[in-house]
Amino acid sequence: MSKLIVQKFGGTSIANAWCIKNVAKRIISYKKKGYALVVVVSAPGDATDDLLKLAHSVTNDPTDRELDVLLSTGEQVSMALLSMALNDLGYQAISFTGAQVGIITDKSYTKARIININSRRIKEELKKKKIVIVAGFQGINLEQDITTLGRGGSDITAVALAKALGAKMCEIYTDVDGVYTADPRIAREARKIDRLSYDEMLELAFLGAQVMQSRSIEVAKKFNIKLCVRNSFSKKDGTIIHEEAKSMEEILVSGVAVNRSEAKITICDVPDKPGIAARIFREIASANINIDMIIQNVSHTGRTDISFTIEKTDLKKAVNIVKKMAKKIGAKNVLEDRDIAKVSVVGVGMRSHSGIAAAMFKALAQKGINIKMISTSEIKISCVINKKDAVKAVKAIHKVFELQKPTRTRKAK
C-alpha cells in the first residue's frame, strides 16, 4: 500500500456535527487524490471527561476494568458518526472498535500497551476501497477484555497502525496549526515550528506541550514514521516531525514547554542506605505509576530527603504507597505538593553549547522565581517552580532565547 496515509483526529476536531462534516470533507479531499486512508478518532470534545464524571457519580473509586469499558464508548460514538458522515457524502466508510481490528494490548487497564495489531480486517476493507475508521485509545487484551491506552492514547493507535500497515506518513490533526516555540495562550509572540526532530518533539511532548502523546513519538521514531501535526480547521502546513537533519545543529533552543499536571512528593529523613530508593521506586512502579523527576539531596547526617514528581491523577495512590514504605524503612514524614509547574527548554543544538542553563536560570531569577527542582538531559533543561509563576516563567524564557524571531536571526546565548 504505497499511497496509504493514517490520519488521526483529536477530540476538538470532531466535537460536534459541524466539525465531523468538516473532517469528512478533508478526508474525501485525500481520497480524491488517490490515497488509501485509515482514520483514527478520539472521543468527541469533552466526552471522556463527561464519562469520568458519570463514573464518579456512582463511586469514588471506579474499578479500572470497568472504567475502560466505560471510557471506550467515547471513541465508538465518534467513529460511527464520522463513518455515517462519509457515507452521507457518497463515500464508502466502515468503522471498527479496537477489539474488532485486533489491537491486542497487555492487561494494564487504563494504561495498556499495544503488543500486537492484527491488520487483516483493515487490509480487506482497504482493498474494497473503503475508508477505514478506527477507534483510538482502546484495545483488547488476550482475555477479550476492553483496555484503554491512557490519555492521548489515540496518537499511539494512529502511529501503531501506520507501522502495522506500512504507511510512511501519519497526520495528527488538532485545533492548532502545529507545534509552537511556546504555548501561544501563554506567550503571544510564540511562533509555529516548521520542522522538528523526533527527540525534540519527544521532550516537548513529555514536558507538557499537549500536542502529541510522548509514547507515540517514541514509536514513530523507532519505525521512522514521518509525523505531521496540523490543524483540522485550516489548510496550513503544520509541523513535520522526522529524523534529525544536519541544519538543525545550528538551532539552540526550539521551544519552551510547561506542564502543570504533575505533583511532588517528598519523603523526609530517609536512612541513607543502599537499596532504599530502589525499594521505594519499585513499589511505585509495580502500581503502574510513572515517575518523572527524582531528586535526592546529598546526605551529611546519614539521613536524606527524596523528592519526586508524578502525574496528579496518581498522587493519592502514590502517597498511600509511600506512607506505608516510610514506616517500613523508618523515614519521618511524607509531604505532597500539588501546586507545582515544570518549565523546560528543548533543543537539539543544546548538547554542544554551554550557557543555555545559565541563561534560563538567570531569566527566572530576574523575575524572582524560585527553582525547586532541576533536571537536565542532552536536549532539555527542566525546572520545577511554583505553579503561580508558570506563565511569568514561560514568557521570560521565551524572550531570553528570542524564540519570537525566525531561527536564523536569533542570538546564541
Q: Footprint of a second copy on this chain (CB under 8 A)?
A: 16-17, 20-21, 51, 54-55, 57-63, 65-67, 69-70, 72-73, 76-77, 79-81, 83-85, 87-88, 94-95, 97, 99-100, 121, 144-146
67, three cell numbers = 472504567
Shortest Å, Cβ 63 to a second copy: 5
Shortest Å, Cβ 131 to a second copy: 12
Cβ neighbors of 219 (< 8 A, separation 6 or more) are 156, 159, 160, 163, 225
Shortest Å, Cβ 118 to a second copy: 11
* C-alpha to C-alpha distance for 375 and 196, rounded to whole angstroms: 22
Q: Which is nearer to a second copy, 133 or 205 (CB)?
A: 133
Q: Which is nearer to a second copy, 124 or 378 (CB)?
A: 124
Shortest Å, Cβ 244 to a second copy: 41
Q: Half-sphere exposure of 137 toward its Cβ, with a 13 Å CA cutoff?
A: 27
Q: Which is nearer to a second copy, 16 or 224 (CB)?
A: 16
Distances (CA, A) of 256 to 306, 342, 355: 27, 10, 16
Shortest Å, Cβ 150 to a second copy: 18
Instruction: Single out the residue of 240, 262, 255, 253 nearest to residue 187, CA to CA.
Output: 255
161, three cell numbers = 497502525
Shortest Å, Cβ 59 to a second copy: 4
Q: Which is nearer to a second copy, 145 or 311 (CB)?
A: 145
Q: Half-sphere exposure of 193 toward its Cβ, with a 13 Å CA cutoff?
A: 27
Residue 180 DSSP one-character state: B
Cβ neighbors of 184 (< 8 A, separation 6 or more) are 176, 190
Q: What crossing angle do the helices spanning 153-165 and 214-222 adopt, rounded to 10°?
A: 20
